[in-house]
Amino acid sequence: MIRWGLTICLVVLAAMALGQATKPTIKVAKDGTPTGQSTPEGAACDLARAFIIRDAALFRKVTIKPRGDASHPDDYSKFIEQMVASIKAEAKRTTPSPAGPKSIGKVFAARHLTKNGPASYGYAVFGYRDVMFVDVGCFLQDGGRSLTRTLVVQDSNGTWLADPLPTASPLLSQGLNEESPSTGDFTDKYTVAKDTGK
């Protein structure tokens, strides 16, 4: 009886260890950074990528649609249209703006906000499954660097979307800019799949 109980215990421990060792797979683009809307990191990187490759369609695809909770919903819609117009204008330039992003240099693992309010609010009001943020570091055209903190939400269909104007929804982004600096790389959380050709 003791021997049988010990065997079961060892099997359970082995299964737990195997589960901890197995990391989910993440798609990456040719540049080696996440892409796609199946992960929060992919959505955040695709938002940055929309500016890097000057792709207004990608920007629209990866961003959340206007919501009724914003303090000034019309301002959010106007902001989206201004960003689309800006990306399209940038795409027509023969040389990119010096202060614009050139490439993604560092992607940190997505994190949950410390405060419980944003996730609860997102679920109750919009049916969001999750609310997180991703810090993405970019190299700029002029040689500089920037670090952008992107709020990301997982909608009711499981699709991750980036919020390019989190200040428009204070209850959803509460405490975002007060969070500590990210330290964990996205590769600590995922196994990297082959590039998708982007």
Q: CATH no. for residue 109?
A: 3.10.450.50
pLDDT tens, position by position, 22-81: 889 999 999 999 999 999 999 999 999 999 999 999 999 999 988 665 555 678 888 999
pLDDT at 14: 47
Determine, yes or no, domain membership for 7.
no
Q: Is the model more confident about 9 or about 87?
A: 87
Bigger pLDDT: 101 vs 73: 101
In a domain, 140, yes or no: yes
Per-residue pLDDT at 195: 54
Q: How far is CA 3 from CA 7, 11, 24, 25, 159, in A?
A: 6, 12, 35, 38, 47
Nearest C-alpha neighbor of 164 from the set 173, 155, 156:
173
pLDDT of residue 12: 43
Residue 149 lies in a domain: yes
What residue type is assigned to position 183 of the chain? T
SS3 of 196, please? coil
The total number of structural domains in the chain stands at 1
| Domain, as residue range, for 32 | 27-195
- Residue 57 domain flag: yes
| pTM confidence score | 0.84
In a domain, 139, yes or no: yes
Whether residue 156 is contained in a domain is answered as yes
Predicted local confidence at residue 194, as pLDDT = 63
In a domain, 21, yes or no: no
Report which DSSP code applies to 187.
Answer: G
Mean pLDDT, the chain, rounded, equals 87
pLDDT of res. 2: 46
How much is the pLDDT for 117? 93
